[in-house]
Amino acid sequence: MWTWCFRSSLYTLFKIDPSRSSRVLLEVLEVLEVLGEEFDDVLGCDYFSAYRKYLGDCNVLVQFCLAHLIRDVKFLVDHPHSKHRTYGRRVLEAVKALFHVVHRRENMSAQRFARQLQAASDELQRQATYRVPAVKEAQNLKRRFEKHGESYLRFITTPGIDPTNNIAEQAIRFVVLDRKVTQGSRSEAGQRWLERIWTAIATCTQHGQSVFEFLHKSVLASFRGDQPPSLLYDTS
């Protein structure tokens, strides 16, 4: 079974499913009535094939995670083949230069930051596609930038978009620890329970609500037949 994590500004949602296909992505997002084929915002994710298929099928905007890109580039840097290493170092230096600009944002005017960020992104695109050795791994990275280069750099032109998917990675961390300790659940009812309790814990934490207070109010509302408390906002 796979645990999917969806994080937005309003909630964190977990879904357990035996599949890693884009079917799960579409089903969950359409149920939420937030994304699906009507999605008109930016989806932050890694370069996993299900997200690329969703990108192609639904024509959505995506910000692929730059942190995952660095991991893939470092594979080339540490490769035994010298051509891989040379190419990987060039791309890695360009990625580092891009993040250097991002980290210095507060020390620059908005205009200067925009200029330097654009220049750094142009250089990354150039290094990823220029004089690429004719070996499989390097050519794969080149094609990735040729096809989806804009989706790695969309945070430059879209305010508020994070260049990584770290917030989702952080949100799922406690679930990974829980799963290692308890081994999860094999039953349908158990999996639905885990999805819901993990969602409640993560979303309450996200909004600064007490998980215990939310669950306590929910149980009381159920017994009394009252309107349950909102998971998104503290209604007390």
Q: What is the pTM of this model?
A: 0.72
Helical segments of the chain, H only? 22-32, 49-58, 66-77, 82-103, 110-129, 136-152, 166-171, 173-182, 188-206, 211-224
Q: Are residues 23 and 103 in the same domain?
A: no
The β-bridge partners of 61 are: 42
- Polymer length in residues for the chain: 236
Residue 99 near residue 117, CB atoms below 8 Å: no
Q: Are residues 38 and 60 in the same domain?
A: yes
Query: Please, what's the largest Cα pairwise distance for the chain?
Result: 70
The mean predicted confidence, pLDDT, of the chain is: 85
pLDDT digit string (tens) for 51-105? 888 777 777 788 898 888 888 888 889 888 888 889 999 999 999 998 898 888 8
pLDDT digit string (tens) for 118-144? 899 899 999 999 889 888 888 988 998
Structure tokens at 208: 């600064």
Task: Examine residue 88 and state whether it is found in any structural domain, yes or no.
Answer: yes
Task: Examine residue 125 and state whether it is found in any structural domain, yes or no.
Answer: yes
Task: Examine residue 53 and state whether it is found in any structural domain, yes or no.
Answer: yes
CB atoms within 10 A of CB 235: 12
Instruction: Give residue 38's pLDDT band: very low, low, confident or very high (50, 70, 90).
Output: low
The range of the structural domain enclosing residue 98 comes to 66-156
Displacement of CA 156 from its chain's centroid (Å): 16
